[in-house]
Amino acid sequence: MSNLQTQDPIISKAIEAEAKRQFEGLELIPSENYVSESVLEAMGSILTNKYSEGFAGHRYYGGNTHIDVIEQEAIDRAKALFGVEHVNVQPYSGSPANFAVYNAVLEPGDPVSGMNLLDGGHLTHGWKVSATAKFFESHPYHVLPNGHTDFEELKRIAKEFKPKLIWCGATAYPRTIEFAQFAEIADSIGAYLVADISHISGLVAAGVHESPVPYVHIVTTTTHKTLRGPRGAMIMVTKKGLEKDPGLASKIDKAIFPGLQGGPHNHTTAAIAVALKEAATPEFKEYAKQIVKNTKTLEQEFSKAGIKMVSGGSDNHLLLLDLSVNGTLGSQLEYAMDVAHMTANKNTIPGEKSSPYYPSGLRLGTPALTTRGFKEADMVHVADWIVRVIHHIEGDALPKEQSERAGFIKAIHTKYDADPFLKKIGEEIKSYTKAFPIPGI
């Protein structure tokens, strides 16, 4: 940091402060994780200097001999790890990767179907404010009252609207994704089936969650969640996908470049390659198993405390707390936990009665804490801290009048910032985390 400290002390201090925040707190956002020092090293390398439009062996710029080696290695490692026929490692992130899939196999106005955002889906699966709904005709499916996918509804959508592309996968869905049932429906109407496994790709790679590869045509994933890599993405084409359309791999590549992107971020590509090598180790498999064990511990402790969870618990790395019975506490709990050195995110729940800005739920995950070495006994403490905060703020229910909510939340923030109870928990956590290192800090 010496050069940065001298040249740009403002940015340097902000980075140091963020490192301190991460080390002294509990990272519970399920889409966040800690990368290894090797991944950090690749991300901060001189590869960021190189422009590399095109693909390995077919570039529009000279000087890409070594970049080609790196990109091909990332591709080969992904193909081996996930058992797929073709991989594109160039998408800048998950949303561009998903949009590239639309553009590869659809025409504007084509019907599509994905899980409704408020039920746990993703913006890019056809939510109404997303460009994916602007350019394509979206028919979202929902979850049942028990929190599981409503396959009967999806069958009705398939029969009536004949979507040309169906998404399976989600961003706030705590249960196993039943790829075989999705495939049966998609195959019945000849639709492309795309699995967005951004949240569970590390679990899939480790064999902790069933792989979508035998059932779907295309797989998309970010690389920075349970896969524990840099902030990038991949698009993978399966054998089933090539059987449906032998030109599918080429269509995907062309949709990325020149369709949507310019040159790839080579430092990210290298870091993806490093993360994929790590994910192929026995140690990573044990890590993925521990993620689920830690989530199950939280589930058990919340059940004991009478805290309601969407679907009653979890099969994977995340839990979605239903705080509607506590007074729509999603926004309030997120901030109160922040003051108490715990980072989570407010989230809508199925059948949300409030708005996405002031939702009834809170989303929690275990990947980052598991990376730090937390085990079941540690998660009992984590659950206790969360439950204590929930009970402490139960009286701070969201006003029913929407016009009063912004002012209420502002006042709540001021109140929590000075709350000695929350600060005391924060000090407990700060002391506890000293025993759990973070790579690169």
The answer to whether residue 53 is catalytic is yes
Tell me the C-alpha distance between 71 and 164, whole Å.
31
| Residue 47, phi then psi, degrees to nearest 5 | -60, -25
- Among 222, 268, 295, 366, the active-site one is 222
| Per-residue three-class SS string for 295-361 | HHHHHHHHHHCCCCEHHHCCCCCEEEEECHHHCCCHHHHHHHHHHCCEECEEECCCCCCCCCCCCCE
Tell me the C-alpha distance between 192 and 186, whole Å.
7
Contacts of 160 (CB under 8 A, 6+ apart): none
Contact 183, 243 (CB under 8 A): no
Tell me the C-alpha distance between 86 and 88, whole Å.
7
Contact 123, 150 (CB under 8 A): no
| Residue 237, phi then psi, degrees to nearest 5 | -110, 130
- Among 24, 53, 85, 245, the active-site one is 53
Contacts of 290 (CB under 8 A, 6+ apart): 370, 375
The answer to whether residue 253 is catalytic is no
Residues in the chain, overall count: 441
The answer to whether residue 132 is catalytic is no
The answer to whether residue 196 is catalytic is yes
- Among 16, 24, 50, 51, the active-site one is 51
Rounded to the nearest angstrom, the gap between the alpha carbon of residue 157 and the centroid of all alpha carbons in its chain is: 26
The answer to whether residue 401 is catalytic is no
The continuous run of DSSP H or E covering 285 comes out as: helix 282-304
Tokens of 18: 């963020």
- Among 79, 162, 231, 285, the active-site one is 231
- Among 196, 378, 396, 419, the active-site one is 196
The answer to whether residue 225 is catalytic is yes
Active site residues: 51, 53, 196, 222, 225, 231
